[in-house]
Structure 1
C-alpha cells in the first residue's frame, strides 16, 4: 500500500490498480456518484477506472421496468411507491420474495456479468445495490476474488442496501453507519465517507466559485439576492410557474432567479420568455455542466432532495428549500437536512411562496443555515472512498 496523504488517497502502489465502478441509471444520482469516483481514480495515476452503467448491459424489458417504470411510479403514483418502499424495507434479505426478485435479476443480467468478467478489475465500487447483489453471488460461487465495495447514495438506509459479503460499506453519515451496524453489518466494514461529488464541488473556497463573480457571469446583480431553482414537481407546480411566482414576491427590485430546465426544451423556452419579460432578473439555463457555478452564485437553492443534489449543496455550503421529495428516500434526506438545520421543506405552492419570502427577508437565518450546510458537507468524499478502496486493492 502507498503512503497516506492528509487530504487525498494513498500515493500509488507499485502495480497498476484497475477500479471498476458500476452504477444504475434509475434516476441520475447513482450515475453521478459513479462519475465522481471515476474522476477521482483517474486523478491518481497509475490507477485507472472504468465506469459501466449496468442498464446498458441488461435485457431491454428489464431495463424498461427498472428505469422507466420507476420514474413513472414515483411521478404518477407516489403513494404506491411509498408503500413499496416501506414494505421492501421490512422484508428480510433471505425472504422468498427477495430470492425471487434476485432470480429475475440474474436471468436478465447475464450480459452485464459477462462484461464485468471481461474487465478483470482489481476492485469494484457499486453505487447501486443491483450490481452488488450480482457480484455477491459470483463471489459466493468462487468466480471472483477481488473486493467489492458498496457506496450508499442517500442519507438514510433502506434494506436493499444490506447486501452481505461486501468488502466495505461507504456511508454518508454516522447515523447511516449506525443503522448498518444495527442491521448486522460488521462495524469494521463500515466507513463514513460522505457521498462522492464531482471535482468541481470539491474545492468550495476556490476563486472560480466566488459568489459575486459567479452571479456577475450570469448577468445578475451580486448586490441583490439570488435563488437557484432546479426543479418543479408535485404540489409546487412546474418550474416556469414557480419562477414567475417567486419573481412577484419582491416586485421589480426583488429577487433574482437562476432557473435550470435541464434537457426539457419546452421548460427552457418558457423560462427564456420570462427572462425577456423580466430583464436582468432571470438566468434561464438549459442543460449545463456548470451546476457548481450556478450553486455558487445562489443564496438559497430550491430543489428536490435527491442524495447527490443534497451532497453537492452541502459541499458548497448552500442552504436549501426542499420541494416534492420522492416518498421514502428523498423524504428521509429532507428529514436529515431539517434536523441538522441546513434546509426547510415546502409541501405545496403556498408554502413555497411563503418560505422563499421569509428566508430571503432574513439574512441571518440564511447565514445560519449556510453555516450548518458547510459543516455537514463532505466535498472530498470521493478521496475518502479511495483511501479505503485502494488500500484494500493494493
Structure 2
C-alpha cells in the first residue's frame, strides 16, 4: 500500500523550501512505496497576503535588519492569547482556506511542516477535529522561536541537542522530540572528487579556493566584497554565487574579466555541492540550510554580516562549535580571510570540527521517524 506524505513549506527565504525538497529527495531514494507531495503555502494564499508575508520579509532583512531583529524577538516574547497574536492568527486562517481544501483532496497519511505558518494552521484543525493525520514539524535553524511550538503536533525534529533542550523547556514532551539535524539534499553527503568538480568550472584543484555565497536572492554587495577579497595577497581563487541577482552577476562577470584565472562568477545553480567540493573556505550568510550543507561537506565558514534574529542565533552556535568565524563588515571579512589563509592548521582544525558536526542523512532520519521505522 502506498503511503502519502505531504510536505508544507513557505517561500519566505529559500531555506524552508529547500528543507522540504530535501525530505522529498530522501523519500525518492528510500525504496518505500510513497507518494510525496510538496506544497508552498504561498501558492495558496491571496496575492496581498503573499506580498505582505514573503516579500516584506525579504525587504526587511535586506534593508532594515535591525527592525527585523526587533520583530523576531518581540514575536518570540508575545503571549499567545494577546490581541495582536489573535488578530495575526485570524488573518492567516482566512488567507489559507484554499490550502485546507488542497490538503483534504490529497488526504495525506502524514504531514511534515518546514515552516511555522502551516504548523500553526494545522494545530487549530487538529484541535477542532478537522484533521486526522499526524503532523510533524522540522525546525530549520539552530534556534527555536516560540511560533514553532504548538500543542497538537505528533513530533518535532531538532537541529541539535540544544534546540531539543529548548523544545523541552517550551513544554514539548521529550518523547516527541527527535534530534536529526536539518534536512539537506542527499547529494551533500556524497564524496565527490575535487579534481573532477574543479574541471567543470575551469578551476585549479591544487589552488586554495574560497567560495562566496550570497543566498538564493543574491543579497549583499557581492561585487564589492569580491573586489576587496581579490586585493588580498596569496595564490587563491574565488568563486562567487550571485543567486538570482542579475545585476550582481553582471558586475561580477565584469570583475572576473579583470582578474582572469582568479574569479569564477555564477548565478543561481543547483550544483552547489560540486562547487563546495572545490572549496577550502566558505563565506556565507548563516542560514540554517546553507550552514548545514557546509557542515556536511566539512567546510569552515566565515559568517558574513548575520542579520539579527535567527541568523545571529545560528552564528552563535557555529562560532561556539569552532567551525566558523564572524565578519560584521568588509574590513573584518578581509582580516578573517587573511587570518585563515595564513594559518592552514587552524583551517584544518575547523574543517575537522565541521565534518564531525555534519548530519548529511537528516532527511533520511526524518523520513524514518515519520514512517515509524
Instruction: Settle same-fold status: TM greater than 0.5.
Output: yes
Q: Separation in 2 of the partners of 1:254 and 1:248?
A: 11
Is 1:246 matched with 2:233?
Answer: no
3-state SS of paired residue (1:146) = coil
Helix, strand or coil at the partner of 2:372:
helix
User: Match of 1:345?
Assistant: 326
| 1:90-142 Cα deviation digits (max 9, x unpaired) | 12333332222111100111111111111100000000011111111111111
Distance 1:269 1:96 in 2: 47
Distance 1:318 1:27 in 2: 23
Q: Which string of whole-angstrom CA distances, capped at 9 and with x for unpartnered residues, describes residues 350-389 of structure 1?
A: 0011111111111111110011111111000001101110
Structure 2: give runs of 5+ residues left out of the alignment. Answer: none
Q: 2:2 aligns with which of 7, 11, 16?
A: 16
Aligned position for 1:33? 19
Which residue is 1:112 aligned to? 99
Moved more, 217-226 or 187-196: 217-226
Q: 2:188 aligns with which of 198, 201, 205?
A: 201
Give the 5 Å matches for 1:290-369. 290-369=271-350
Q: Report the Cα offset of residue 213 of structure 1.
A: 3.0
Equivalent residue for 2:251? 270
CA distance in 1, matches of 2:85, 2:157: 23
Could you tell me how far apart the structure 1 residues matched to 2:158 and 2:82 are? 25
Which of 130, 149, 155 aligns to 1:168? It is: 155
State the match for 1:66 in structure 2.
53
After TM superposition, give the deviation of residue 214 of structure 1 in Å.
2.1
Q: Is the 8 A contact 1:194 1:378 kept in 2?
A: yes
Report the secondary structure of 1:179's partner residue: helix
Equivalence for 1:4: none
The residue aligned with 1:98 is 85
What per-residue deviation string (whole Å, max 9, x for no partner) do you get for residues 123-171 of structure 1? 0000001111111111111111110000000001111111221000000
Partners of 2:245 and 2:267 within 8 A in 1: yes
Distance in 1, Cα, partners of 2:287 & 2:114: 14
Report how far residue 237 of structure 1 moved: 5.9
**Contact in 2 for aligned 1:318/1:370 (Cα 8 Å):** yes
3-state SS in 1 of match to 2:277: helix
Q: Which residue of 1 aligns with 2:39?
A: 52
Q: Contact 1:256 / 1:282 at 8 angstroms: preserved in 2?
A: yes
- Where 1:249 maps in the other structure, the secondary structure is coil
TM-score, length-scaled by structure 1: 0.91
Give the ranges of 4+ consecutive aligned residues of structure 1 lying more than 3 Å apart after TM superposition.
none
**Following TM superposition, by how much is the alpha carbon of 1:217 offset from its aligned partner in structure 2, in angstroms?**
2.8
**Contact 2:282–2:300 under 8 Å retained in 1:** yes
Contact 1:247 1:254 in 2 (8 A): no
**Can you give the 5+ residue segments of structure 1 that lack an aligned partner in the other structure?**
1-14
**What is the deviation of 1:242?**
1.0
CA distance in 2, matches of 1:93, 1:150: 19
Distance, in Å, in 1 between the alignment partners of 2:193 and 2:344 is 18
Q: What is the Cα-based RMSD across aligned positions, in Å?
A: 1.4
Instruction: Report if aligned partners of 2:120, 2:148 keep a CA contact under 8 Å in 1.
Output: no
Alignment partner of 1:224 out of 183, 207, 210: 207
8 A Cα contact 2:3 2:109, kept in partner: yes
Q: In 2 relative to 1, CA 331–271 (structure 1 residues): closer, same or farther, beyond 3 Å?
A: same
Q: Distance in 1 between matches of 2:196 and 2:183?
A: 26
Asked whether 1:261 is paired with 2:242, we answer yes
